[in-house]
């Protein structure tokens, strides 16, 4: 029995063999896919020049270095896929950073995805988070990590964060 479309004069015929796209279409698909999934890589200095995604402050009597170290440990514990390498760096003068970076597939250099900046001001630590932009996979992942970093900060500090944005 013919389909109702064939009975009305509409017939769809498919070529024999596997479906293939013209070569130009294959190249276009590869280029678009590479742009979407690779994202834009930025240097650490470029990331530090971007405006913060969120900022806040928390009371941390034990200091910014201990808070940063705790945040790094918690991020490593929750990142079961080992997607990012988290590093803590004491910059001196009451400042430290926790950076999450990934290694390029064909380039062994680390590329920053997210950075949490901590600045000690008496018993209060001021916080700023920055995410490497871009519509790609690492931009998406950085935004995802940025959202989960703030509850981790509260856990490590033992108190609520006063957010500024």
pTM for this one?
0.71
At residue 14, the pLDDT reads 55
Tell me what pLDDT residue 91 has.
92
Residue 52 near residue 60, CB atoms below 8 Å: no
DSSP state of 19: -
- Indicate the domain borders of the chain: 40-163
What is the SS3 assignment for 104?
A: coil
pLDDT of residue 59: 93
> At CB < 8 A and 24+ separation, what contacts does 105-112 make?
110/85, 111/41, 111/42, 111/138, 112/42, 112/43, 112/44, 112/47
Mention the CATH class of domain 40-163: alpha beta
Residue 114 · residue 142 · CB < 8 Å: yes
Cα separation, 150 vs 158, in Å, equals 12
Given this model, what pLDDT does residue 139 score?
Answer: 79
Report residues of the chain scoring pLDDT below 50. Answer: 28, 30-39
Give the pLDDT score at 10: 57
- 88 neighbors 98 (Cβ within 8 angstroms): yes
Tokens 């900022």 sit at which residue? Answer: 55
The reported pLDDT for the residue numbered 120 is: 95
Can you give the pLDDT at residue 70?
Answer: 95
Q: Are 155 and 60 in contact (CB under 8 A)?
A: no
- pLDDT tens for 113-156 read 899 999 999 989 999 999 987 667 777 888 888 999 999 999 99
**At 135, which helix (H) or strand (E)?**
none
Closest-CA residue to 154 (of 80, 87, 59): 59
pLDDT score recorded for residue 12:
54
């Amino acid at each position: 029995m013919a389909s109702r479309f064939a009975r009305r004069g509409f017939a769809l015929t498919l070529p024999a063999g596997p479906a293939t796209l013209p070569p130009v279409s294959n190249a276009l698909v590869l280029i678009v896919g590479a742009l979407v999934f690779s994202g834009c890589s930025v240097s650490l200095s470029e990331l530090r020049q971007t405006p913060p995604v969120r900022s806040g402050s928390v009371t941390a009597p034990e200091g910014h270095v201990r808070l940063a170290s705790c945040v790094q440990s918690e991020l490593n514990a929750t990142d079961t896929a080992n997607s990012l390498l988290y590093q803590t760096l004491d910059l001196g003068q009451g400042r430290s950073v926790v950076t999450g970076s990934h290694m390029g597939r064909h380039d062994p250099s680390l590329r920053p995805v997210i950075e949490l900046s901590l600045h000690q001001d008496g018993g209060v630590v001021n916080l700023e988070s920055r995410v490497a932009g871009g519509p790609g996979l690492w931009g998406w992942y950085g935004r995802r990590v940025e959202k989960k970093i703030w509850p981790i900060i509260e856990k490590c500090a033992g108190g609520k964060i006063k957010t500024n944005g």
